[in-house]
Copies of this chain bind each other. A is one copy, B any other.
Amino acid sequence: MTAAAAPGPGKGELVYQQLRADIEAGTLPPGAPLGELALVARTGASRTPVREALRRLAADGLVELAPRQGARVSRVSLRSVRDLYDLRALLEPEAMRQAARAPGSPLHAQLPRVRAELVRLQRRSPSAARSAAFYALADRFDQAVADACPNAHLQRVLADLRPHSARLRNLSHLDPARIETSLVEHLRMVDALAAGDAEEAAAACAAHLAQGLATIVATLRQDTGGVLDDLDLPLGAR
């Protein structure tokens, strides 16, 4: 069973996940108004679960909530992108270290399969399907690394940051060539984790983040014609 209609998760949870997915995917672009009435019509739920979902998303920083004025998808600026990557550069290498030192975790059991899948993707020719498969794999990997952290607070913060990163990736249509380098970077991380080399894993993660930031900034600059410098960008063009 994938997910039953009503009995399993509550309706508020469903609305939350749907809205979050739409925001991450860019279907709901930054700045998009989120009227409760409109969301009731969109999701079929009542105002109560809709409100609950909006509050949770606001706590995640994915929507901005103006009192008596409604909700909007939170806007993105070049500065916020840099801020996000600065913070990830602080946290994720540390998460890698901790994960590398937790050999009994489910992460380590998955590593051989992840590695095999990465190699398989390396041999495929570039295509949208390959990109999608890689990103799905990378997301699962990041999640597994975070879950392997014994530090629950760190896990919570990383989980908070993940949707922001996902949104950035989907807002800016990245250069397909980026996949190649990112594959290599992930292989380096996987191998370091498998070897239990915490510092190498952390270094690989830091390098991966630096590359990712450079790519996204370049892409955003190109998409917006270099107009932005600290401006809010209305949406990922397309």
Q: Which residues of A contact B (CB under 8 A)?
A: 10, 48, 51-52, 55-56, 59-61, 67, 79-80, 83-84, 86-87, 90-91, 94, 150-154, 156-157, 160-161, 164
Give 6 pairs: A residue, B residue, CB < 8 Å, sorted on A: A52-B52, A83-B152, A83-B153, A84-B153, A156-B160, A157-B160
A10 to B68, CA, bound (A): 9
Known contacts A10-B67, A61-B156, A156-B61, A87 near B151 by CB under 8 Å: yes
The chain B residue sitting closest to A68, CB to CB, is B10
Could you tell me if B160 and A87 are in contact, using CB atoms closer than 8 angstroms? Answer: no
Residues of B within 8 A of A60 (CB): 59
Q: How many copies are assembled?
A: 2
Could you tell me if B51 and A154 are in contact, using CB atoms closer than 8 angstroms? Answer: no
Set B80, B150, B154: member contacting A152, Cβ < 8 A: B80
List 11 other contacts, CB 8 Å, given A84-B153, A87-B153, A153-B161: A55-B59, A56-B59, A59-B59, A59-B60, A61-B153, A79-B152, A83-B150, A86-B151, A86-B154, A153-B164, A157-B157
Residues of B within 8 A of A94 (CB): 90
Distance (Å) between the CB of A79 and the closest chain B CB? Answer: 8
Residues of B within 8 A of A154 (CB): 83, 86-87
A48 to B156, CA, bound (A): 26
A60 to B157, CA, bound (A): 10
